[in-house]
Structure 1
Amino acid sequence: MLQESAILAASPADTRPASAVSHGVGLAGLAGLLAWLAIAHRLGADGPWAALVGVAACGVPMVLWSLLVDRVHGHASTGIDWASARPWRASIDISLVKLTGLWATWAGIALIYATGRFYWEGPFTFAMWSLERAAPLLVLLSIPYVLWLDRYLVEPRDGAWHAGAWLLGIAGADPEQIHAHLRAWAVKAVFLTFMLAIVPGGYGAFVRMGTGNLLADPVLLANWLITLMFVIDVAFATVGYILTLRPLDAHIRSANPFMAAWTAALICYPPFIMMDDGRPFDYRPGTADWTHWMQGQPTLLAITGAVLVLLTAIYAWATVAFGLRFSNLTHRGILTHGPYALSRHPAYLAKNLFWWISTIPMLSTGTLVDAARATILLGVVSGIYYWRARTEERHLRLDPAYREYDVWIERHGLVPRFLRWARRG
């Protein structure tokens, strides 16, 4: 969403601020993922391993595009100065302290996973299986990575160093830096496991879907396209949570420091989710989906299906636009292109419109009370997403680059302009 440097501090309000991510990186990832999905569909390549290959097919082209075409490793916002390498002896002490802080953080996350029974049930067992096998490799690779990168970092004493210094009793540990470090890793700990948990399910559902009668059945076509869009969204999001690396300029500049933002976000995801079946904001009892109410009306089915596909496409497009940088609750660079040239929160807007149109809570298979309850609860869910949007903006407005984008989008964005027109009407 944000970029901490180089974004037009003095550009006129009528000029769109530059985007932290190019169009090309997202298109490269999309092309790689679609190519794998075509192969997988033809071969019937189902299962968790095939799903992870899909994530790799999405991520590798984006990494290559970022390094070879966009040359992001040369951006000042990486905090890296490739022309000024320190001698090994000048940085190794810093690196060892940093590794101490990093490994202690990982150990704390592992303890939380091991303690939480939730993480060893249902689809999360695959996430734990994946992380168990990746952990030894990550520990080993972190040694050469940190030793190498610290030679080039403008300021190698980052949050991991401050955490390590505090643990080792070294003077100079800054509590604010430690808190920022822990918040950033908390984001990865919560959301990466969720993404890994849902990757196989959506991927498998798409690969197994038949395509023989798509053009003759608007409902089948709509569901096929919607499933595809969600596969794209999940793959890009998973890549984003994995590749938070400075040489890719995809690191976390800051994680949201406001408790309200964490509360609003976490109640939308397991294990804290409040909208799931049987939870307080479950609006689905007494409802039926759009196909139930429109059965026997082929034209209405086709139009509604097309609208739902469009909304899902906007939702997926908003994730693709991030390229390598998708993440909740973080500042990783301003996006001003694609759907973010139309709205500050295109994904939230599209997602909530999708729920209202696909559920139609005002209609009920039960009683008027069920309809009223479903409508009120879905309204609460939409209100939570509005709350999320506002808390995210509060974080991002700490950066002057976002404030500039905020002025521009309010003036030129399609959605803000429409809302102004509606209020005048």
Structure 2
Amino acid sequence: MNETAVQPFDQRIRYWTVRVAFLACLPVILLGVPVWWSGIAALLKLLGTLLVIAAILYRFWAILYIGGRKNQRVVQEGPYSMSRHPLYFGTTLGALGFGLMLGSVLLAALFGALTLGILVATASREERFLRAEFGPDYEAYANRVRNRVLPEPGLFTTPDEVTFVPKILRTNGGDALGFLLVLPLVEVIEWIRDLHLAGAFPIF
């Protein structure tokens, strides 16, 4: 097949992969009981909440730069000057935060590793299209910005002004704010645990 015939990655694959991974982890989430002292558990929940907020802000920041320009040109300013897929870094932060909010370093590491692994694989598939679509421009960008997901702050650059399309910002910004659903979700999970219907094994 000719390179120019490469199609953009079907994002539904990523959505369903993440959902299946979450369902696979659900027994551990509901049956596990954190064993930390209450003060440490409260600190973990606070750190997790801050990470979820950071995830929302980071994704929103990336959307300001990519909104309306995805698959149209090689965006390489702002968060895109530090990693090639900053939206995925924001998502990984949110997954880590979710695990910590549940009071478990183990769940945070599990969710973070699973999310990062899925998104790195997704980014690799997406870049097949980007390389075919933009050729030398994308190759030059990839050679300069080596990291797919994890940012390298020393590479940061940004123009003096950034323009955005309000309609697209509203649509994509809603996606970033979707991480706010993690907050009531954690409360529901804690309520289920408190019913003593769960609690089959301790988690750290």
Tell me, in whole angstroms, the C-alpha distance in 1 between the residues paired with 2:92 and 2:150: 18
Are residue 401 (structure 1) and residue 141 (structure 2) matched? no
For 1:397 and 1:408, how far apart are their aligned partners in 2?
A: 14
Q: 2:29 aligns with which of 259, 273, 287?
A: 287
The alpha carbon displacement at 1:353 in A equals 2.5
Offset at residue 343 of structure 1 (A): 1.0
Report whether the alignment pairs 1:310 with 2:54.
yes
Shift of 1:402: 1.0
CA gap 1:357/1:334 in 2 versus in 1, 3 angstroms: same
**What CA RMSD, in Å, does the superposition of the two structures yield over aligned residues?**
4.0
Equivalence for 1:390: 124
Q: What's the CA shift for 1:301? A: 4.5
Task: Name the CA distance, whole Å, in 1 between partners of 2:44 and 2:130.
Answer: 41
- How is 1:39-188 mapped onto 2 (pairs within 5 angstroms)? none
The letter of the residue matching 1:354 is G
Give how far 1:337 is off.
1.2
Output the CA distance in 1 between the equivalents of 2:37 and 2:92: 20
Are the structure 2 counterparts of residues 350 and 392 from structure 1 closer, same or farther at C-alpha, using a change threshold of 3 Å? same
Give the aligned residue type for 2:138. Answer: Y
Matches of 1:391 and 1:332, distance apart in 2:
17
User: Do the aligned partners of residues 404 and 285 (structure 1) sit closer, same or farther apart at CA in structure 2, a change above 3 Å counting?
Assistant: same
- Residues 386-415 of structure 1: per-residue CA shift (max 9 Å, x gap): 11111122222232111111122239x983
Deviation sequence 1:362-407 (CA, Å, 0-9, x none): 949xxxxxx78x9667644432211111112222223211111112
Residue ranges of structure 2 left out of the alignment (5+ in a row): 155-204
Query: Is 2:81 aligned against 1:338?
Result: no
More displaced 10-residue stretch of structure 1: 394-403 or 354-363: 354-363
Give distance in 1, aligned partners of 2:137 and 2:119: 24
Alpha-carbon displacement from aligned partner over 1:255-292 (angstroms, at most 9, x marks no partner): 42xxxx44xx33223xxx1433xx4652233326xxx8
- Corresponding residue SS for 2:84: coil
Contact 2:76 2:141 in 1 (8 A): yes
Report the CA distance shift for 1:386/1:294 in structure 2 as closer, same or farther (over 3 A): farther
Q: Is the 8 A contact 1:281 1:381 kept in 2?
A: no
Contact residue 55 and residue 93 of structure 2 kept, 8 A: yes
Relative to structure 1, the CA distance from residue 315 to residue 286 in structure 2 (aligned partners, 3 Å threshold; closer, same or farther) is same
Counting matched residue pairs gives: 142
Residue 358 of structure 1 is matched in structure 2 by 98
Unaligned runs of 5+ in 1: 1-175, 181-253, 365-370, 419-425
Alignment of 1:222-237 (within 5 A): none
Find the aligned partners of 1:407 and 1:344 in 2 and give their Cα distance.
11
TM-score where L is the length of structure 1: 0.28
Which one has the largest radius of gyration? Answer: 1
The one-character-per-residue Cα deviations of 1:162-191 (angstroms, maximum 9, x if unpaired) are xxxxxxxxxxxxxx8xx96xxxxxxxxxxx
In structure 1, the residue matched to 2:169 is: none
Partners of 1:311 and 1:349 in 2: CA distance: 8
Q: How far is 1:309 from its partner?
A: 1.1
After superposition, give the CA deviation of every residue in 1:99-148 in whole Å (9 maximum; x if it has no partner): xxxxxxxxxxxxxxxxxxxxxxxxxxxxxxxxxxxxxxxxxxxxxxxxxx
SS at match of 2:52: helix
One-letter amino acid matched to 2:90 = A
| 1:224-263 correspondence runs (5 A) | 255-256=7-8, 261-262=9-10
- Give 1:325's aligned amino acid: R
The one-letter code sitting in structure 2 at the alignment partner of 1:345 is: H
State, as a whole percentage, how many aligned pairs show the same letter.
Answer: 24
Q: Per-residue CA shift, 1:8-42, capped at 9, x if unaligned?
A: xxxxxxxxxxxxxxxxxxxxxxxxxxxxxxxxxxx
Please report how far the alpha carbon of residue 300 of structure 1 lies from its aligned counterpart in structure 2 after TM superposition: 5.3
How many angstroms apart in 2 are the aligned matches of 1:385 and 1:410?
16
The answer as to 2:18 corresponding to 1:275 is yes
Q: Distance in 2 between matches of 1:286 and 1:332?
A: 42
Cα distance in 2 for partners of 1:414, 1:280 equals 21
TM-score under structure 2 length normalisation: 0.52
Are the counterparts in 2 of residues 362 and 375 from structure 1 also a CA contact under 8 Å?
no
What is the distance in 1 between the residues matched to 2:52 and 2:14? 21
Instruction: Name the aligned partner's letter for residue 308 of structure 1.
Output: V
